[in-house]
Structure 1
Amino acid sequence: MASEQQKKTSGNPVFPGWYADPEGVIFGKNYWIYPTYSAPYEKQVFLDAFSSTDLTNWQKHERILDTTSVKWANRAMWAPSIVEKDKKYYLFFGANDIQSDNELGGIGVAVSDKPSGPFEDHLGKPLIDKFHNGAQPIDQFVFKDKDGQYYMYYGGWRHCNVAKLNNDFTGFIPFEDGTTFKEVTPEGYVEGPFMFMRGGKYYFMWSEGGWGGPNYRVAYAMADSPLGPFKRIDTILQQDPEVATGAGHHSVMHNKAKDLWYIVYHRKPLENPSRDHRVTCIDEMKFDANGMIKPVKITMEGVAQQKVK
């Protein structure tokens, strides 16, 4: 096996262990990945994080958040999303896999002075604990728009909502029509929303298919507004039966200095196809001359060694 000095590509998976639903983000000169610990729901009581200066060598930060800090959470801590605001780091997460409005759980938020944590519960209760527009309160992604407004996109059970976060992330600001949660579900949507901007356009992405099966995949839409409408364009990430199956629930990192785009996602190894055997991978994401996302080729090699700046 190559030493750290000799290692020229990340390889896939990029770090050992069963991890899914990864959010990739750049803070300063470091790449970070915040994934779900992939295990039976009752064992999903903590979140780990991973950092790297070059995409190839990753450091594990154990238990940056766990249920001892979030008293209302007891299982199924899922799909973290993180933003930096006013020199603090806010980590949004799902917990308890609630099936109705009568259960305790939903989407929470934790805060820390460092991206490596430890994180503490910001509210002492869920931020969203009800089914609005049919959306299970899971799989949240927080997006900062060009005007500084933070939006949360979230939802399972084939429904996606968007809401405007207030300034201190303790609640939401209603839209002009008085509603707080707007449904923006595109065709084919199942879960795992993600948003980024490029060339003045909003790229909205999501996962389709069943998360435990081989046909999990990612599709996208483009719009002129963070509220859509979002019309499905194409599938851009999916299984390759010669490499891996179940490629989905992704995020995107943009190295602005080099204008390189990376898709961070999970997939299921061919030799370990059981439900919770999911691993985190990175491959390059490219665009055509019209700004459309080219289908991503999933690889065993991963991406080339690359500093942030």
Structure 2
Amino acid sequence: MKKATLIFTFLIGITAYSAGAQTKKTSGNPIFQGWYADPEATIFGKQYWVYPTYSDKYNKQVHFDAFSSPDLVNWTKHDNVLDSSNVKWAKRAMWAPALVKKDNKYYFFFGANDIQNDQTVGGIGIAVADKPEGPFKDYLGKPLIDKIINGAQPIDQFVFKDKDSQYYIIYGGWGHCNIAKLKNDFTGLVPFSDGTTYRSITPEGYVEGPIMFIRKGKYYFMWSEGGWTGPDYRVAYAVGDNINGPFKKIGTVLQQDAAVATGAGHHSVVQVPGKDEWYIIYHRRPLTETDGNHRVTCVDKMEFDANGLIKPVKITNEGVTAAKIK
């Protein structure tokens, strides 16, 4: 009887847990447990995916987990989709993924080793896999970008596909941002028509974490400002008519709310396919935390006014309601 009662109780618990998962009204913030920062959000098929930095001391940042969701509310963890055992030159500080699907392959761009000069091995690398959950393995056997160009530390890369299907890499720390054209197979860079390979597109206030997207024909360029461990960490943006801008800062979109969380920044953006419905996925620091690495990944709605300007985002503890991809 005791064994039967135990099994019955277990089954009831599982049923209650499943029902609870199915009836979850909002995502809540953070959207999943653990210390994670610099989230790259994207859509593959009918699933949202988030690839964040594992937020810890630099020497422990040697692997990436990923998370998938059908609706932004219920998330599944995919452990260790990439780690340094599959990238022999990466030893520490593996940061800020950027993901692209091309020709049925998934390309995982990342920064590694936090290089401080051109004599150190490290920079921006690429891994590749057949599935969005990996396992990802080193694609080039070396960094794609391993030098400090125009003052930009080679970190925080974003990969952008323009209207003509040309892929660009936009990246940079230390207050400088570069853009470069990627080869069709991502094995290197292609010079611009004027013969230069790297162009500086650094807007006023830029620190790190660039992203770009197109809405209604306009190019929205976003970035993080302030210090990543400080209360002034925030997200600003500009709008241009093409990939080259010019990009003049318009204002701040995301920042901390002392009643909710601190240090909100380093984000990405997703659009629900077929709808003018947008979400910002970002990291922030819980009010109870003082350790700079104690960052969590959150989601909130991002809306536009009648002139196409981004409204200031209200950060919440509730997160968002379900947004399934049809």
Q: Give the TM-score band, short-chain normalised.
A: over 0.9
Tell me which residue corresponds to 2:97. 80
Please say if 1:137 is aligned against 2:154: yes
Q: What is the TM-score when the length of structure 1 is the normalising length? A: 0.99
Q: Secondary structure at the match of 2:59?
A: helix
Please say if 1:291 is aligned against 2:308: yes
Please say if 1:187 is aligned against 2:220: no
Tell me how far apart the structure 1 counterparts of residues 213 and 175 of structure 2 sit (CA, whole Å): 21
Tell me which residue corresponds to 2:82. 65
Q: Secondary structure at the match of 2:147?
A: coil
Instruction: Give the superposition deviation at 1:282.
Output: 0.3
Greater share of helix: 2
Tell me how far apart the structure 2 counterparts of residues 183 and 257 of structure 1 sit (CA, whole Å): 33
Tell me how far apart the structure 1 counterparts of residues 20 and 233 of structure 2 sit (CA, whole Å): 34
Q: Secondary structure at the match of 2:21?
A: coil
Q: What is the TM-score when the length of structure 2 is the normalising length? A: 0.94
Tell me which residue corresponds to 2:141. 124
- Structure of higher CA gyration radius: 2
Tell me which residue corresponds to 1:36. 53
Instruction: Give the superposition deviation at 1:6.
Output: 1.6
Do 1:257 and 1:308's aligned partners in 2 also have CA atoms closer than 8 Å? no
Tell me how far apart the structure 2 counterparts of residues 297 and 60 of structure 1 sit (CA, whole Å): 26
Any residues of structure 2 matched to 1:199-218 within 5 Å, and which?
A: 199-218=216-235
Tell me how far apart the structure 2 counterparts of residues 180 and 273 of structure 1 sit (CA, whole Å): 41
CA deviation vs aligned residue, 1:155-174 (integer Å, no higher than 9, x gap): 00000000000000010010
What amino acid maps onto 2:261 in structure 1? A
What amino acid maps onto 2:236 in structure 1? A
2:44 to 27, 49, 57: 27
Instruction: Give the superposition deviation at 1:273.
Output: 2.5
What amino acid maps onto 1:110 in structure 2? A
Any residues of structure 2 matched to 1:139-288 within 5 Å, and which?
A: 139-288=156-305
- Runs of 4+ in structure 1 over 6 Å off: none
* Equivalent pairs, count: 309
Structure 2: gaps spanning 5 or more residues: 1-16
What is the RMSD of the two structures over their aligned residues, measured on CA atoms? Answer: 0.9
Tell me how far apart the structure 2 counterparts of residues 32 and 210 of structure 1 sit (CA, whole Å): 27
What amino acid maps onto 2:269 in structure 1? V
CA deviation vs aligned residue, 1:56-112 (integer Å, no higher than 9, x gap): 111111111100000000000000000000010000000000000010000000000
Tell me how far apart the structure 2 counterparts of residues 257 and 14 of structure 1 sit (CA, whole Å): 24
Tell me how far apart the structure 1 counterparts of residues 274 and 288 of structure 2 sit (CA, whole Å): 38
